[in-house]
Structure 1
């Protein structure tokens, strides 16, 4: 079965089928082993030196990793994928594999707190200069990306303000100066956005989120060409951020329903955003599906089928009011992460205080009263009614 003949929902079910040809089991088995034996010395040597080989040692790869990687690569229209133990392991591994002391990295000001900390606390310490850029300012990107820039880190939609980056435009600027472009597409997933088709070189995912989809695993993914994945793989071996076989199995099981889940997530998020837009208890709503969002046109051009299941809104009255609103929600729970079947709400200014100082939070536009809401797959009407009632109770 040629994966190029299949649409996303079919790829999710059958994208690993060719890899498992000959297996009688409909569901893939779990391989709870750390190492693999071989009676053939030449085959053993090949396995030890082949990227992501599924028959040598689990830090190098496993059949469960290979199954999930095959599905994800197919979804992204890529040649290969490398799975890691978390989303931060994915972005850290990819970055450290591609830059050296003296190089320069450009990234967004509006970016996940862990990515910001990687730039300010790790890369700079090891002699890699970094520059943060407003993601929607193409002139600023043009000024920031130089011949010394080796990597451009994008995130769209971004966390937590749901900003939108024009991937094609930034990739053109970066490639003209010899830089690679990696896009964190966690919020969009391959269902709504395929960065490689937009000109990016790599796609990064916190597979903990929508790809896994059930708040029961940690995983990350790096997706791109075979050449780039082979370049990154040795660093992955050294860092050791390997995804376990059981977690890879859970990831594959979660991905089977990704298309159906994203349709519900995105539909509910749009309904909540519309209900809060213009509400007297809300200062502003961040969601690219709203026509008034500054990135709406770009998002509509580069995303398909929806705008994702996360929105942010600033509660009038600041941090205290935002906390009251979260406490008043009966459906959404106060918890980190997103992308599971349940709705979750957090106040980013409090959650990221250890990763970003006040200045960094301000530059990223993270106000004390900002709430990030990741809607689950509960009944949309119930979620909308619950969020609106919570905001009204907190601002009465």
Structure 2
């Protein structure tokens, strides 16, 4: 078909790997290896003279379908799937960096990502400068002759800070650096970083892509030239996703746009209710009309996302609300059809030092919500009784 298909159609129809049996649903290929017709055929497969599959660590038909579908949704030439969101971030870094290189990163990162950068990436002689996610002047001032990568989350987790991706892409490219964007909080439904000039869109498929809290996975998307290098790194380091997880993620993607549309709307309703509560000192959600970067949000995002941060007086107040909810799940996952609640200071950002947490805006009174598909009135009533 020559007509460009809508993302929701691609989420259902895109990238299918079909066998001679003409199965309607994507088949699950639970096998570690694949056979060849002859020694010559094996030689052709391993030398890439012919296309095919040899070993699941390298490629698998089910995973190939997942990768093709994600590439279509992200507007990318190619995508590479990995075992988790963190392994996808690892691949984004170590495929393109070596000792002596320099990274500029936004401060507003998921705590495990910040921990990975500080305890693993630096260990290999790679220099890191943290800057404000939103202040382009800080990014400019941090550039060095050896800067090779810009990295950030936007919106940030869980404060909803929004970076100007087009401006950052132009700045990075003027200085010979790549721009990699963690798109976990928005998914391709809510944001397509490559269309804004980013070189790599990376995300935890465990979150919205699955949407049901079932399996772990990660994915990177970008040009064929970049992703071919990523694929070699992932194959060499054994970062492959399991075929079963790819199969589950394909199922999740089929309902992605329907889930995100509803969850974005419900998150906005919860955020606006939180703004009316006297106990709440601040609400952080990029979909609010009062968001300081409202114009930018409307230009590069399709809604405000599913994650809300809100500030209470102190840790005791935050823990009291978290311990009192009856509908929200007390867990650190996000993007689920089930709404979740957690205390970032002691969970998602626990690996960071107190000073780094505060520099990133993570306080002891901060609570994070991920809004799911329960009836929104039930979610608000649950928070209401918890506050009481």
The reply on whether 1:57 has 2:70 as its aligned counterpart is no
Whether the 8 Å CA contact 1:54–1:60 is kept in 2: the answer is: no
What does residue 339 of structure 2 align with? 343
Report the CA distance shift for 1:276/1:354 in structure 2 as closer, same or farther (over 3 A): closer
- The C-alpha deviation readout for 1:210-235, integer Å capped at 9, x for no partner, is 00111010000010111101111121
> Structure 1 stretches (4+) deviating beyond 4 angstroms?
none
Report the CA distance shift for 1:380/1:152 in structure 2 as closer, same or farther (over 3 A): same
Q: CA deviation at 1:241?
A: 1.4
Output aligned runs, 1:97-246, within 5 Å. 97-246=95-244
Alignment RMSD (CA, Å)? 1.6
SS at match of 2:167: helix
Match of 1:32 among 30, 33, 40: 30
The reply on whether 1:356 has 2:358 as its aligned counterpart is no
- The C-alpha deviation readout for 1:308-365, integer Å capped at 9, x for no partner, is 11111012x3111111111221110110111111001000000045420101101110
Name the CA distance, whole Å, in 2 between partners of 1:353 and 1:81: 28
What does residue 366 of structure 1 align with? 362
Q: CA deviation at 1:292?
A: 2.0
Whether the 8 Å CA contact 1:196–1:203 is kept in 2: the answer is: yes
Which 5+ residue runs of structure 1 have no aligned equivalent?
none
Name the CA distance, whole Å, in 2 between partners of 1:7 and 1:386: 37
SS at match of 1:336: coil
Q: CA deviation at 1:118?
A: 2.0
Name the CA distance, whole Å, in 2 between partners of 1:210 and 1:227: 27
Report how many aligned residue pairs link the two structures: 387
Q: CA deviation at 1:127?
A: 0.6
What does residue 331 of structure 1 align with? 327
Name the CA distance, whole Å, in 2 between partners of 1:348 and 1:388: 21
Q: CA deviation at 1:43?
A: 3.5
What does residue 71 of structure 2 align with? 73
- The C-alpha deviation readout for 1:250-284, integer Å capped at 9, x for no partner, is 01011100010001110110000000114211010
Name the CA distance, whole Å, in 2 between partners of 1:363 and 1:241: 32
Report the CA distance shift for 1:377/1:365 in structure 2 as closer, same or farther (over 3 A): same
Name the CA distance, whole Å, in 1 between partners of 2:47 and 2:96: 20
What does residue 12 of structure 2 align with? 13
Q: Which moved more, 1:208-217 or 1:160-169?
A: 160-169
SS at match of 2:281: strand
Q: Which moved more, 1:83-92 or 1:306-315?
A: 306-315
Report the CA distance shift for 1:205/1:49 in structure 2 as closer, same or farther (over 3 A): farther
Name the CA distance, whole Å, in 2 between partners of 1:383 and 1:125: 44
Match of 1:311 among 300, 308, 313: 308
Q: CA deviation at 1:291?
A: 2.2
Q: CA deviation at 1:23?
A: 4.6
What does residue 287 of structure 2 align with? 289
Name the CA distance, whole Å, in 1 between partners of 2:342 and 2:350: 15
Name the CA distance, whole Å, in 2 between partners of 1:234 and 1:46: 18
SS at match of 2:95: helix
Name the CA distance, whole Å, in 1 between partners of 2:246 and 2:56: 11
Report the CA distance shift for 1:27/1:93 in structure 2 as closer, same or farther (over 3 A): same
The reply on whether 1:378 has 2:377 as its aligned counterpart is no
Whether the 8 Å CA contact 1:31–1:64 is kept in 2: the answer is: yes
TM-score by structure 2 length? 0.96
Q: Which moved more, 1:281-290 or 1:291-300?
A: 291-300
